[in-house]
Amino acid sequence: MVDPRTGDGVGSLVGRTPQLGRDRIVAELVPSPRFADVSFGSYVPAPDQPSQARAVEVLQGLAERVRAGRAGEQGGSGLRRLLGGRPKAPAGAPGVYLDGGFGVGKTHLLASTWHAVPGPKAFGTFVEYTNLVGALGFAEAVRALSPMTLVAIDEFELDDPGDTVLMARLLRELVDAGVHLAATSNTLPGSLGEGRFAADDFLREIQAVGSHFEVARVDGEDYRHRGLPDPPAPLDDADLVTAARDAGPGAVLDDFGALTEHLARVHPSRYRALLDGVEAVFWRDVRPLADQNVALRTVVLADRMYDLSLPLAVSGAGLADLFTPEMLEGGYRKKYYRALSRLTSLARGTA
């Protein structure tokens, strides 16, 4: 959609209202294009970080259990297949949980695990799974995910009590159905929810989530910051419009305030579809985000932009000032720092 406020011939995200059916929501539970061809072999552990090589070994073990489980299922009796039953899962934890900082390759390893196992299988962010439940309902989401050999959950985090109870129930249902799990997070299972709500009141649910996983730590430095320059300085408005026009028909240019208002009217499960056909993103008159809800929606949009490797340029405030100091010290700080890391990478053109 072309927005006349941004200059003739330049598209805009504001005004787009994508609609998604059940089949597309489930079909999109695959690794993003940037991780379409990764493998365990393409992950290069840092020599001074032995936990990275150990994480590869743990996930390869999980992939072997998934493959063994599928082989046992295919070799089971006709009666068991007729009744829809599954053989007993091979010994070992039903899931692996990668804990580590930003940019150490956790998503690369998670996608490598997904690629290494037979289907049907699902890969998505934590938010995409909660959105799946919101779009389909809990029972239908369980039916959609229960046939999977593996459910991979990137950026696992419990942001509120509702998510805590929901994910505890969902994971229990999937494990009972014989589904293996793999997850990444920046928070150990026992610390999920800290700083966001009264996590002690939901200790049973948090412990239930943790019981499904073997934890593997992944240490290291954020690769997006290894020897790379600071994010580019913001452009002035005139140069931003010129750059957006020069970027071609796949560019979108939005007033940042109008864009954040529009995000409130689009369900986060549709943010990927919001970016259909987009090849470059331009934000005009960026200002620090003072509202937590607005900031969290912007984080989801940043994640979807990063999935698609969309170049980013801005005017107004710099990306480093997008989130207030209070936000960067609060309970959601890990989400905000991840978003800053990813947006900076997109602005550098090094995503």
- Tens of pLDDT, residue by residue over 38-79, are 999 999 898 988 999 999 999 999 999 999 887 666 655 444
User: In the prediction, which pLDDT does 269 show?
Assistant: 79
Q: What is the mean pLDDT of residues 248-261?
A: 96
191 or 82, which is more confident: 191
Fold of domain 47-220: Rossmann fold (3.40.50)
Contacting residues for 255 by C-beta, under 8 A, at least 6 apart: 5, 6, 14, 284, 285
Q: What is the mean pLDDT of residues 247-259?
A: 95
Sheet containing strand 121-125, edge to edge, reads: 121-125, 150-154, 180-185, 95-100, 213-218
25-39, 79-93, 164-178, 247-261 — which is least confidently predicted? Answer: 79-93
5-9, 255-259, 278-282 — which is least confidently predicted? Answer: 5-9
Q: Is the pLDDT of residue 285 over 70?
A: yes
Q: What is the mean pLDDT of residues 112-129?
A: 92
Top mean-pLDDT range of 94-108, 121-135, 273-287 = 273-287
User: In the prediction, which pLDDT does 199 show?
Assistant: 38
Task: Please provide the average confidence, as pLDDT, over all residues in the chain.
Answer: 82
User: In the prediction, which pLDDT does 93 show?
Assistant: 60
Q: What share of the chain is helix, strand, coil (3-state, %, to 5)?
A: 50, 15, 35
Helices (H), the chain: 22-27, 50-74, 78-83, 106-115, 126-136, 138-145, 161-176, 203-210, 237-246, 256-263, 271-274, 292-307, 325-329, 333-348
Q: Structural domain boundaries of the chain?
A: 4-19+225-348, 47-220
267 or 313, which is more confident: 313
Residues 316-334 have pLDDT tens digits of 999 999 999 999 888 788 7
Q: What is the mean pLDDT of residues 150-165?
A: 78
19-33, 87-101, 109-123, 291-305 — which is least confidently predicted? Answer: 87-101
Question: 3-state SS of 20-44?
Answer: CCHHHHHHCCCCCHHHCCCCCCCCC
Q: What percent of the chain has pLDDT over 70?
A: 79
User: In the prediction, which pLDDT does 219 show?
Assistant: 83
Residues 177-230 have pLDDT tens digits of 999 999 887 654 445 444 443 434 434 555 666 677 788 888 876 555 554 457
